[in-house]
Amino acid sequence: MRRLSATLSAVSLFATAAALHAAPPALTQAQHDAAHAMFEHVINTPTVIGRHRVPEMAQFVADQFKAAGFPAEDVQVMPYHTESATTGGDDTAALIVRWRAAGKPAAKPILLMGHMDVVEAKREDSTTDPFVMTERDGYYYGRGTIDMKDGIVGITQAMINLKAAGFKPKRDIVVLFTGDEETNGIGAKNGASQWLDLLGHPEFGLNADGGGGGFNADGTPAGFTMQTAEKTYAGFTLTVRNRGGHSSKPRKDNAIYSLAHALDKIEAYRFTPMMSETSRAYFAGREKLEKGPLGDAMRRWLANPNDGEAADSIEASESEVGLTRTRCVPTRLFGGHADNALPQLATAMINCRIFPGVDPNAIKAELERVVADPEVVVTRNDDYVASLASPLRPDVTAAYTRAVQALHPGMPVFPEMSTGASDARPFRVAGIPVYGTNGGWVVTPIDNRAHGKDERLPVKSLYDNVVHWELMLRDLAGK
């Protein structure tokens, strides 16, 4: 769900390797045209929940693989149902493709991940029809252009190109494209459990719904990120009940005032700062660029992880919010039943993004301590378990860095903990590390339009991403 494009200042964390200025591989005109046609077709298929179009898109992508010579028995459309009280339901589908190693596999499979569904986009909220791909001013416009049908096309066209070029993987490459990442994540949950045999119990996953990079508006590189961790999404409800009464006779006990008081406490509260391998590497890179007070705070915190004041000033920066700890924020309010009656019920929805590895049940207990009012009852809205960080793997880090820098010489690369959530969570929880390693890029911040109005992708990014995935797969499955 909820992919956020990186908005990073530049500094190279990983080997700023003496840039390889060898020309990257280029697409043939036929490959370029095929990628364009595939992208246009999938953007024009409105795979929003409730519109029943994901199975059609899954079949279309499956047909591309089969036409390129992938055996039909290794290309499977998996229909499934997704539903929840807040999203409604849909009959959706996942696509699983297995490209088997030639001969005895050298290692367990690599999983390539993406999702085919998109967030709703309304015609009246968009400049042009969001489900008719439009090219103008050097951009492809349409819902899903960056979240994340560019990644679906990038992986698919890269595998087709590699097969045509005679590439023989030394380990299985397995594709899982899900159909409900933006809503309920049932596809990823199935993938990390009942479909694991089909997927060949992969050693690790590469998720096209994460990573990627950007350029600043002046053309300078803003950096690429590799997503190694994501915060756990968890919803909580604060509920206050009261006997109510007549509003002409106000009392001190009042459900709305108790709730407002609890919200005041949550507003003032800061969870304990936490640092992980990923965020330490991230801040170690960031501080080199930051000469001012923000950089000083990063340096102090890196030197002393118990320096809460330093962590607080980092967290207060709009560019770093959410990266130093668990954050919770109220997003919805409900209360009362008549304008002339004291409220009998008042509730607030609290949306938390929990630091990787922390149990949402512990956050519930912490919220209860913060609120410190027995009248305010804290309950969970979901049963998500703690998301885990994936340990940095030198092979993946190196392959990603090489691919990025082959296309964008000198481009800095950072590890990243995303504050949003994605399909990676159930795999990480199941012990399969996942890395967000897409190669798409945008101009930041003006192109950060995932979930928003007039979503768009620079035209060149689509084709760069195909090359990016070819480089990644040659590197990680060709040796």
Partner 1 sequence: MKRVFAVILAAAVSSAALAATDPRTVPSQLPAAWQTKTRELFKQAIEIPTVHNRGEVPRMAKLLADQFRAAGIPDSDIHVMPYEALPGDQTAALIVRWRSPHATKKPMLVLGHMDVVEAKREDWKYDPFVFREEEGYFLGRGTSDMKNGDVATTMAAVKLMSEGFKPDRDIIFFYSGDEETRGVGATLGSTKWRNLTDAEFGLNADGGGASYDRNFRPLGFGISMAEKTFQTYFFTTHNRGGHSSRPRPDNAIYDLADALEKLRTHRFQPMQNEITRGYFEERSRQEGNSALGQAMRAWLANPNDGAAADAIEANPLEVGLTRTRCVATMLKGGHADNALPQMAQATVNCRIFPGVQPKDVQAELQTMVGPNVEVAADPLYIGLPTPASPPRPDVMNAVKAAAARFHGPEMHVFPVMSTGASDGSFFRAQGIPVYDVDGSWGISPDDERAHGLDERLPVRAMYDDVLHWEMIFKALAG
- Which stretches of the chain bind partner 1, using CB under 8 A? 1-2, 4, 86, 231, 233, 235, 243-251, 254, 256-257, 259-261, 263-264, 267, 316, 318, 321-322, 327-346, 348-349, 351, 353, 381, 419-420, 451
CB of 271 to partner 1, least distance (A): 12
> Residue 76 or residue 419: which is nearer to partner 1 going by CB?
419
74: Cβ contacts below 8 Å, ≥ 6 apart: 97, 98, 99, 100
CB of 243 to partner 1, least distance (A): 6
> Residue 36 or residue 325: which is nearer to partner 1 going by CB?
325
Q: Are 15 and 226 in contact (CB under 8 A)?
A: no
CB of 268 to partner 1, least distance (A): 10
Nearest to 126 by CA among 138, 142, 146, 148: 142
- DSSP secondary structure letter of residue 101: P
CB of 231 to partner 1, least distance (A): 7
CB of 134 to partner 1, least distance (A): 25
198: Cβ contacts below 8 Å, ≥ 6 apart: 76, 96, 98
> Residue 33 or residue 334: which is nearer to partner 1 going by CB?
334
> Residue 105 or residue 322: which is nearer to partner 1 going by CB?
322
> Residue 172 or residue 315: which is nearer to partner 1 going by CB?
315
Measured distance CA(155)–CA(469) in Å, rounded: 6
> Residue 261 or residue 280: which is nearer to partner 1 going by CB?
261
Question: Which own/partner pairs from 307-316 qualify as long-range (CB within 8 Å, at least 24 positions apart)?
Answer: 308/272, 308/273, 311/273, 312/270, 312/273, 314/283, 315/270, 315/273
- In residues, how long is the chain? 479
CB of 34 to partner 1, least distance (A): 34
The residues facing 4 across adjacent strands are none
CB of 256 to partner 1, least distance (A): 4
Sign of CA dihedral 306, 307, 311, 316: positive
Q: Which two tokens stand for residue 192?
A: 């990390």
> Residue 196 or residue 349: which is nearer to partner 1 going by CB?
349
Measured distance CA(305)–CA(303) in Å, rounded: 6
> Residue 2 or residue 288: which is nearer to partner 1 going by CB?
2
CB of 291 to partner 1, least distance (A): 24
Other CB atoms within 10 Å distance of the CB of residue 295: 16
Measured distance CA(181)–CA(423) in Å, rounded: 6
> Residue 222 or residue 476: which is nearer to partner 1 going by CB?
222
Q: Are 3 and 420 in contact (CB under 8 A)?
A: yes
- DSSP secondary structure letter of residue 125: G
CB of 162 to partner 1, least distance (A): 35
Burial 278-291 (b: 16+ CB within 10 A, else e): bbebbbbbbbbebe
